[in-house]
Structure formats: C-alpha cells, structure tokens
C-alpha cells in the first residue's frame, strides 16, 4: 500500500477485516450469480454463473478481499473492489456488458427475505453532503471542478455533459448533442427575444444554442471552473453580449423569464430541496412561460427504496445526488407551484446508454493524456466503472432520462 493510495483513496487502500460478513456475502452471492447469464471465475479455476463460455466474464482476482468489501458495505464495496483491482472484467468482456445483467435484475437478485433487512445495512447521506447552499457548492466542486482538461478529453467539442439524442447509431456525438439541446429549447419555446433562465450552466453549450436563436440568456452555476471556461466558449461563439453568466445558487435568482431550462441538474438538488427548486422556477416564470427540464429518473418504487440510502455513486461521483421518479416530480409540482404540470415527456434512456459508451471509449482512448493531469490508475478504474455502471443502468431500463416540458395549466 503506497502513501498516495492511502491518502487519496482510503476506502480502497484498506481492506475491511470482517470475516463473518465476508462469509455471509459469499453465501448470498453464489446462488444469486448462478441465476445470471455471466461467469464469475476464480484464481483456482472454479467458476460460478449461468453463462456459458461466451458469456461476459467477471474475474475475481482477490476473493478474500472481494467478499470482505461486499460484506462490509454491499452498495459501496462492489465498486471499491473494482477500483482496488479485487475483480475486473475478462479479457474479451466489455465492462458495461458484464454489468447489464446485474442491472436488469437489480431488484430481484437478492432474495426477498434478505431484502427486508435492507434498513439494517443502508447508510444515510452524510450531513456535510446535504444540499444547503454551502453543501451544494462543495458537492459540485468535488465533481465538476476536477479539471476542465479531463472533461475536454472525453466529451464532444461542445462539452455537453448529459444524454445526447441520436437519430442513428453511427451519428456523431456532437450532432446528437445539438439535437438534444434543440429539443430542450423547442419544448421551452425559445426564440428571438425570449428571456431565458438556465439553471446549471455546464460549459455553456445550451446557453450558446439559445443565444444563437436570438434569446437573452441568464445562466447560473456554482462551479467556478465551469464558469471560467463557459465564458471563453461564449466569446468564441460570438454570443457574449446575449448571455449573462452568474456564479449564483438557484435559490438566489430573481427576475422574470419567458422560459426556464435546466439539463440534468435536478439530480444534484436533493429531495429535501425539490420544493424550493420548483417553487423558485414557478416564482420567476412569466405568465404563459414554459419550462424544459432534462432529468434522469427511475421507477417510483425504486426511488422509494433508494431515497434514504448512501451508495458508491454518491461517495465517489455525485455527492448529495438523488435520482427522482417521474411521480416524485409530479408531486413536487402539484404541492409547490401555482399549477405547473408536465405537458410533454420525451425519453432518451437508450440514447444515454449510447452516449456513455462514446464517453467511455474516448476516456480510455485518451487515458495516457488524462494521466498527465495528475490522475492515477485508481481514478481510471473509478471512472471506467462509473461510466460503465451508468451505461448498464440505462441499457437495462433501470434508469431513464426525460426531457420534460412544464406549463401552467390553470
């Protein structure tokens, strides 16, 4: 164990010493794996799983460490075991293809009797990751301020970090992202002279697209790194005079806007603050105005099961994050706005799986360059797992993403 590993990745560097929990984990995993079309292979040559020779292979390199991590914290230990190299995909297996059968059976892979014990193992969201104004800024910085250079190496030229909308499998990612941006702006009725509020600037692609339509755009972010590069993008696109970028929390926005747009930002708001988020949108939306939000979602029963648990994604990728269900969004609108309702839904779930595959391919292709920015091998495995894990979730239908148009109907 190196000092660097222990400092940067304490959860990975130290293998939990929980022999009893490890035995329990092994006893639970084996029958579950034997129902899946995959192969778990071990150093001694044994194999588990219902898959044949051509099935996706999961190589368990350090069985004792793997089961110890699973037993210690199932929701976090599986990903940490991959980061540590306790397991990996087989030489002829794509990681997302391996994870997809797990995602397809995520709600049934654990026996019902054991699912009833979930409350005993679920961890609550840490208090410092709550999405207060201070907490939100810290949570966003931990992901989006990692390095603009990093994101430039795997996103399309517009640096759009959300699901694209593909017309065909071989379409360029840049063109598919442009279609997605236009889909949001079309839903919100953005055109010449429209006063637009964008909640969550990203690196500026949606604001640029809106300004190119002749809109006057106010875009807000709490990421200083994103803001700096977005301003450069506005200058390069020749639209700086039509965009007002503010380092501002959505809770502090004032004014009146004909359209409010927000692309995959609601996942970072947190359930506790959804009422505030939707009430603020309602407050600043002009009479007759429209809203378009692109939101990652999950089925309502899954949201109810996972809403109070802390997992690998929250620990390592999106601290403070929570994915809503469509029903949870509808309920927040009904209870905290003056008649805003969803009037159009467009699903891009399978498009997101394709988007994530493109990002991962480019991330891996450019890894030698990315590593020069100070990212280590554990970080590479973390991001490979993150991108593949999410791809599997969308490919299996466990997750979806919608472009949602909202209007006042009363």
Based on the fold, state whether residues 132 and 117 are members of the same structural domain.
no
Confidence (pTM): 0.94
Based on the fold, state whether residues 62 and 209 are members of the same structural domain.
no
Based on the fold, state whether residues 252 and 303 are members of the same structural domain.
yes
Predicted pLDDT at 181: 98
CATH number at residue 151: 3.40.50.150
Based on the fold, state whether residues 137 and 59 are members of the same structural domain.
no
Question: Of the residues 71, 104, 121, which one is the last residue of a structural domain?
Answer: 121
Based on the fold, state whether residues 251 and 373 are members of the same structural domain.
yes
Report the 10 Å Cβ neighbour count for 315. Answer: 18
Based on the fold, state whether residues 114 and 213 are members of the same structural domain.
no
Instruction: Give residue 335's domain range.
Output: 128-408
Contact 181, 161 (CB under 8 A): no
Based on the fold, state whether residues 251 and 194 are members of the same structural domain.
yes
How far, in Å, CA of 125 to CA of 122, rounded?
A: 10
Based on the fold, state whether residues 91 and 163 are members of the same structural domain.
no
Dihedral of CA 223/369/207/276: which sign?
negative
Based on the fold, state whether residues 242 and 271 are members of the same structural domain.
yes
Based on the fold, state whether residues 165 and 87 are members of the same structural domain.
no
The domain tally of the chain equals 2
Q: What is the mean pLDDT of each run of 10 residues along the chain (410 residues)?
A: 68 90 94 94 96 95 97 93 97 97 76 51 72 92 92 98 96 98 98 98 98 98 96 98 98 98 97 97 98 98 90 94 97 97 98 98 98 96 98 97 94
Predicted pLDDT at 210: 98
For residue 380, give Cα distances in angstroms to 226, 366, 367, 383, 387. 22, 11, 8, 5, 11
Question: Of the residues 104, 121, 138, which one is the last residue of a structural domain?
Answer: 121
Predicted pLDDT at 7: 76
Based on the fold, state whether residues 229 and 85 are members of the same structural domain.
no
Based on the fold, state whether residues 26 and 155 are members of the same structural domain.
no
Question: Of the residues 121, 137, 160, which one is the last residue of a structural domain?
Answer: 121
The residue among 357, 342, 341 whose CA lies nearest residue 394 is 357
Contact 205, 159 (CB under 8 A): yes
Outline where DSSP puts E strands in 140-284. Answer: 195-199, 216-221, 243-247, 257-263
Predicted pLDDT at 409: 86
């Amino acid at each position: 164990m190196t000092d660097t590993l222990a400092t940067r990745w304490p959860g990975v560097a130290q293998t939990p010493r929980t022999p009893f929990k490890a035995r329990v984990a092994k006893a639970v995993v084996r029958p579950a794996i034997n129902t899946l079309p995959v192969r778990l292979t071990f150093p001694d040559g044994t194999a588990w799983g219902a898959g044949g020779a051509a099935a996706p292979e999961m190589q368990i390199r350090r069985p004792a460490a793997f089961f110890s991590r699973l037993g210690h914290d199932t929701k976090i230990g599986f990903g940490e075991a991959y980061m540590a190299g306790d397991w990996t995909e087989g030489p002829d297996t794509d990681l997302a293809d391996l994870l997809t059968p797990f995602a397809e059976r995520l709600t049934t892979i654990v026996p019902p009797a054991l699912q009833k014990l979930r409350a005993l193992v679920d961890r609550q969201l840490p208090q410092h990751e709550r999405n207060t104004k201070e907490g939100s800024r810290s949570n966003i910085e931990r992901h989006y301020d990692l390095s603009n250079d990093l994101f430039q190496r795997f996103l399309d030229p517009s640096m759009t970090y959300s699901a694209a909308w593909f017309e065909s499998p071989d379409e360029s990612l840049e063109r598919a992202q442009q279609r997605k941006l236009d889909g949001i702006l079309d839903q919100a009725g953005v055109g010449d002279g429209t006063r637009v509020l964008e909640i969550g600037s990203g690196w500026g692609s949606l604001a640029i697209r809106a300004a190119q339509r002749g809109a006057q755009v106010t875009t807000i972010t709490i990421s200083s790194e994103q803001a700096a590069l977005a301003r450069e993008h506005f200058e390069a696109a020749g639209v700086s005079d039509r965009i007002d970028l503010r380092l501002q929390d959505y809770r502090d926005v004032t004014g009146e806007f004909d359209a409010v747009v927000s692309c995959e930002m609601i996942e970072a708001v947190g359930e506790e603050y959804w009422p505030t988020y939707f009430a603020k949108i309602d407050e600043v939306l002009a009479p007759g105005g429209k809203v378009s939000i692109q939101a990652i979602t999950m089925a309502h029963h899954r949201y109810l099961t996972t809403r109070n648990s802390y997992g690998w994604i929250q620990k390592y990728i999106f601290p403070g994050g929570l994915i809503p269900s469509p029903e949870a969004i509808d309920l927040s609108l009904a209870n905290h706005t003056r008649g805003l309702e969803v009037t159009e839904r467009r699903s891009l779930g399978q498009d997101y799986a394709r988007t994530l595959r493109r990002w991962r391919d480019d991330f891996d292709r450019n890894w030698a360059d990315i590593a020069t920015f100070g990212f280590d091998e554990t970080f590479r495995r973390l991001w490979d797992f993150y991108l593949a894990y999410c791809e599997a979730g969308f490919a299996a239908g466990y997750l979806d993403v919608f472009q949602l148009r909202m209007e006042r109907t009363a």
